[in-house]
């Protein structure tokens, strides 16, 4: 994978010299030479974390494009060490984003058209309230937070996203799964 043809002069420069020349002149050839040296390392790291050759190749190019535009704003002492951190963080970001999409599993049609947007409907009594209280404590924290904000604080999905930092799809999923878990738990409690 080559971004350009090597300049005979620049391939003898140290990393620090290339970085310095790039900062002084803003000539991309200096950054390209520097980046080119580390493509095997970058690709290897991406492959290690992403475990997908195509995705790793895309990451190598994405990192190059991002860094070539922003590198002036970073304070870099040892380029290789700094680049290692950048690559690792980029891969973690990709994994985090793809994981969100994989973990979130809900049917948006059902969620959006759900007519029963209360926990009990019209019928509420002390036994159900007590069971609800016990079951709320058993919910996973994200579901509990989303349920409390949506049903008790009358927050919208957007409000919950803003307040918690959860992804919109995750909020919908937490509410749907939380309702289902509460229903199952409450039914078990009322049978006892």
What's the rounded mean pLDDT across residues 31-53? 90
- Asked if residue 125 has pLDDT above 90, the reply is no
Residue with tokens 């050839």: 29
In this prediction, residue 124 has a pLDDT band, given cuts at 50, 70 and 90, of low
Residue of higher predicted confidence among 121 and 86: 86
Local confidence band at 42 (pLDDT 50, 70, 90 cut-offs): very high
Mean pLDDT calculated for residue range 13-36: 88
- Cα dihedral across residues 77, 78, 84, 90: positive or negative: positive
Indicate the average pLDDT of the chain.
Answer: 78
pLDDT at 57 over 90: yes
Which of the given ranges, 5-9, 15-19, 158-162, has the highest pLDDT on average? 15-19
For residues 143 and 191, which has the higher predicted lDDT (pLDDT)? Answer: 143
Counting other chains too, the contacts that 146-155 makes at CB distance below 8 Å and 24 or more residues apart are 146/171, 146/174, 146/175, 146/178, 147/119, 147/174, 147/175, 147/178, 147/179, 147/182, 150/175, 151/118, 151/119
Q: Please give the CATH architecture assigned to the domain spanning 108-191.
A: Orthogonal Bundle (1.10)
CATH assignment of 10-103?
1.10.1740.10
Domain ranges of the chain: 10-103, 108-191
* pLDDT (mean) for 80-103: 78
Please, what sign has the CA dihedral across residues 107, 109, 112, 117? negative
Cα–Cα distance for residue pair 186/4, rounded to 1 Å: 65
């Amino acid at each position: 994978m080559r971004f350009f043809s090597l300049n005979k002069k620049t391939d003898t420069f140290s990393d620090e010299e290339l970085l310095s020349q790039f900062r002084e002149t803003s000539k991309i050839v200096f950054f390209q030479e520097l980046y080119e040296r580390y493509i095997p390392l970058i690709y290897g790291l991406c492959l290690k974390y992403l475990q997908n050759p195509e995705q790793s190749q895309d990451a190598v190019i994405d990192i190059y494009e991002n860094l070539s535009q922003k590198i002036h704003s970073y304070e870099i002492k040892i380029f290789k060490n700094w680049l290692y951190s950048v690559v690792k963080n980029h891969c973690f970001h990709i994994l985090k984003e793809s994981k969100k999409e994989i973990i979130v599993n809900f049917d948006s049609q059902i969620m959006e058209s759900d007519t029963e947007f209360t926990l009990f409907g019209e019928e509420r009594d002390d036994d159900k309230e007590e069971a609800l209280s016990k079951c709320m404590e058993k919910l996973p924290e994200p579901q509990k937070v989303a349920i409390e904000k949506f049903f008790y604080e009358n927050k919208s999905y957007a409000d919950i996203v803003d307040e918690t930092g959860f992804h919109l799809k995750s909020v919908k999923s937490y509410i749907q799964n939380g309702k289902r878990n509460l229903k199952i738990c409450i039914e078990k409690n009322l049978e006892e």
